[in-house]
Amino acid sequence: MALRIIQVGMAAWGTTWAAIVQRSPETALVACVDPNPVALTAISADPTIARFGSLEEALQAVEADAVLITAAVTAHVPLALTALAAGKHVLLEKPFAPTLAEAEQVVAVAAATQRTLMISQNYRFFPAPRTVAALVRGNVLGQIGSITIDFRQNAAALLPPEHALFQMRQPLLAEMAVHHFDLLRMILDDEATQVSCHTWSPPWSALAGPAAATATITCANGTVINYRANWASSAPATPWAGVWRMECEGGEIAWTSRNGRDASADLVVMRRYGEAARRVVLPKFRQLGRESCLAAFVRAIRTRQQPECSGRDNLGTIALMQSAIAAARSGQTVALPPTVVSPLWSYNPASWLSRLRANSIL
């Protein structure tokens, strides 16, 4: 039986999410919720999909197993708490809470109600970062000393001026960098211990909040990351996951990922010390990004196992995002709270390394 889903938040991103839910044979969209009646008209006129102005109305009127929350960030926590209190599993867009304290509250309620709480960290589910994580966890090039990450896009050229991003207080660190911070945690299988950050806006930026940032992040195992990002860049755009260069004891890994919603930009190049660089042949994915997130959500519910991107695991991502914002505001290096989260990874690194070796890549 398909997992019955109520979706809350039917703006542009929510509309594309609804299409993903409707395409999946494992899920059924039974209701859409948005306080704006106009937003509800963007969904197909399928008579089996009910429409409501509030989540409470939907929960009372339709039978559902889970709630997908694609509303504004400020609404994430109250909506998640309402859904969990009603006994529903929850799939949340990122960042799933504005602060670490609120995120911990939602995680605690999910544990108390024994419901699945998963965060849609869709950048994880692409071939390049999965492959790099396998290389790192397999210790193929030894310990990682430093990483540089560059991200460049021009929001004004991509989004309509009425988009909520242009009014956000932290459009880069809270809306975009959270993707890169989460990738960092997934790839390194490690947590940040401190961060310093400086934010600013180019004179031509159309964003109300700071459009650019540079940050230095130190992880528990000693890796130092230099993060540079710009939402109002006039330079050539990078793929959405950014461009990464990772210096290791035995060589270097350079990679990038995510051209829009496909894997055409995914690239991993590995160079052993003293040898020529070699391109790593990437495995093919049947599902990418949000489609893969949705499938993982369904699988976690049916197997009663914690998903890789559980709310509990994502506390480390929220902590890094919040600490970077605090560091930018204060001008001081900020120590992250100690974490007790053990990251989960739904792909077996050993099997990935075997596939790479079989292709004579390693």
CB contact at 8 A, 114 and 141:
no
Q: Residue 157's pLDDT is what?
A: 93
Model pLDDT for residues 16-62, shown as the tens digit of each residue: 999 999 999 999 999 999 999 888 887 766 778 999 999 999 999 99
> How confident is the model over 243-293, as pLDDT tens digits?
999 999 999 999 999 987 788 999 999 999 999 999 999 988 889 999 999
Sequence ranges of the domains in the chain: 3-115, 125-285+318-358
The residue with tokens 């989260």 is 341
| SS3 at position 32 | strand
Q: Does domain 125-285+318-358 have CATH number 3.30.360.10?
A: yes
- List, for residues 297-309, the tens digit of each pLDDT value: 999 999 999 999 9
- Specify the pLDDT at position 223: 97
Of 72, 96, 69, which is closest to residue 310 (Cα–Cα)?
96
H or E element, residue 282? none
**Residue 345 — very low, low, confident or very high, per pLDDT cuts 50/70/90?**
very low
- Report the alpha-carbon distance of residue 91 to residue 89 in Å, rounded: 7
Domains 3-115 and 125-285+318-358 share a fold: no
Q: Are strands 117-119 and 251-256 parallel, antiparallel or unpaired?
A: unpaired
Would the pLDDT of 180 be above 90? yes
Residue in the block written with tokens 């867009």: 93
Residue ranges in the chain assigned as alpha helix (H): 12-23, 37-40, 55-61, 73-85, 100-113, 127-137, 155-158, 177-188, 289-303, 311-330, 349-358
The domain defined by 3-115 folds into Rossmann fold (3.40.50)
- Give CA–CA dist 118/111, Å, rounded: 12
Residue 52 in tokens:
């409501």
